[in-house]
Chain A
Amino acid sequence: MFGREKKITSDEKLMQSIRHGDQEAFNQLYERYKDRLYYYFFRMLNSESQANDFLQDLFLKIIEKPGHFNPAYPFKTWVFSVAYNLCKNEYRRREVRKETHYGDRHVNPVLPESITEEKLVNSIFKSLDSLSPEHRSVFIMHYREGFPVKEIAGMLETAPGTVKSRLFYTRKYLAEKFQHLKGEIEF
């Protein structure tokens, strides 16, 4: 009742303070985004250690070149577009090393009907391994982060129609993979 209300500073204002070397602002921004970005990296790269490394790389970019952020745009959109580009580069590296082969990976047919929620989500993402990073990214950004199609299009530098078709294709693909759970899941 008598306590002072804590004022919530916008991400964009925090970024301005970070430019002037405000450590508190940096901590606040890190606390706001660390879990969301970690989730994104983890689900994109399927690796805990790489998720940590990429999270660190992204915040290093913010420290070293805060001027790259344009305050005219939302910080959230910008930071996820940087995260997407980091993942895209990693996928390219993996492609060179021939670690993944999109489209030709065999996904185990899923799953007993008494499947738990955790197992279901894990198997959804395992199935998405067969799709391109763009499909995977669109799926996470839309369903996890709640980005509208238009914003995702801006982040991925592509047309909104392409994003829509990627979402549609991903849903269709998952519907085929989880056909036996048709009664429970509707993609």
Chain B
Amino acid sequence: MSEKHIEELIRRDHVGEPSPKVGHRINYIFMLESVRSKVRQNSFSGFFGWIFSLKGLGAKAVVASVLFAFVMIKPELKSTNGTTPLIDSTQVQQNLVLDSTLFHTDSKSATDQAL
């Protein structure tokens, strides 16, 4: 019997099968573990945890500065006092007067001049 025969002998060797209980047990544990990880995946806790952690500070700074630059460049996003942004009429300038007591008009003097 050669070394190859030894190999065949060992390969043919049968020592029985593992207990089915092992399979049932680890399948059950796997099910529990995967359910737990799915719950973890669906929650925002991981994201908020990342936001307020010290991890990836560089990336966070870049995102924040891009957002800031975007707000500064886009005029619509600037808060303006007393004016309403008009989106589709670029030619019309409309001023709103908030306080009527401060309302000044030159219409009277213009009429006088005309007369």
Chain A residues engaging chain B, CB cutoff 8 angstroms: 21-23, 26-27, 30, 34-35, 38-39, 42-43, 48, 51-52, 55-56, 59-60, 63-64, 117-118, 120-121, 124, 140, 143-144, 146, 171, 184-187
Q: Could you tell me the distance in whole angstroms from the C-beta of B38 to the nearest C-beta in chain A?
A: 6
Q: A63, B33: Cβ atoms under 8 Å?
A: yes
Chain A interface mostly: helix
Within 8 A of A (CB), among B16-61: 16-19, 21-23, 25-27, 29-31, 33-34, 37-38
- Alpha-carbon separation in the docked complex, A48 to B6 (Å): 23
In the assembled complex, B73 has its CB within 8 A of some CB on chain A: no
- Take A60-B26, A143-B6 as given contacts and tell me if A38 and B34 are in contact as well, using a CB distance cutoff of 8 Å: no
Q: B34, A184: Cβ atoms under 8 Å?
A: no
Q: Could you tell me the distance in whole angstroms from the C-beta of B78 to the nearest C-beta in chain A?
A: 45
Q: A55, B22: Cβ atoms under 8 Å?
A: yes
- Take A52-B22, A117-B9, A186-B1 as given contacts and tell me if A43 and B29 are in contact as well, using a CB distance cutoff of 8 Å: no
In the assembled complex, B2 has its CB within 8 A of some CB on chain A: yes
Q: B6, A35: Cβ atoms under 8 Å?
A: no
- Take A171-B3, A187-B3 as given contacts and tell me if A23 and B13 are in contact as well, using a CB distance cutoff of 8 Å: no
Q: A63, B17: Cβ atoms under 8 Å?
A: no
Q: Could you tell me the distance in whole angstroms from the C-beta of B67 to the nearest C-beta in chain A?
A: 32
Find the residue from B2, B5, B27, B37 having the highest chain A CB count within 10 A.
B27
Q: Can you name 22 A-B pairs with beta carbons within 8 Å?
A: A21-B34, A21-B38, A23-B30, A23-B34, A27-B27, A30-B23, A30-B26, A34-B17, A35-B18, A39-B13, A43-B15, A48-B16, A52-B21, A52-B22, A60-B26, A64-B33, A117-B9, A118-B13, A121-B10, A143-B6, A143-B7, A143-B10
Chain B residues engaging chain A, CB cutoff 8 angstroms: 1-3, 5-7, 9-13, 15-19, 21-23, 25-27, 29-31, 33-34, 37-38
Q: B9, A120: Cβ atoms under 8 Å?
A: yes
**Closest B residue to A178 using CB positions:** B1
- Alpha-carbon separation in the docked complex, A59 to B19 (Å): 14
Q: Could you tell me the distance in whole angstroms from the C-beta of B13 to the nearest C-beta in chain A?
A: 5
Q: B13, A121: Cβ atoms under 8 Å?
A: yes
The 8 Å CB contact of B18, one of A34, A117, A120, A140, is A34
Find the residue from B6, B30, B37 having the highest chain A CB count within 10 A.
B30
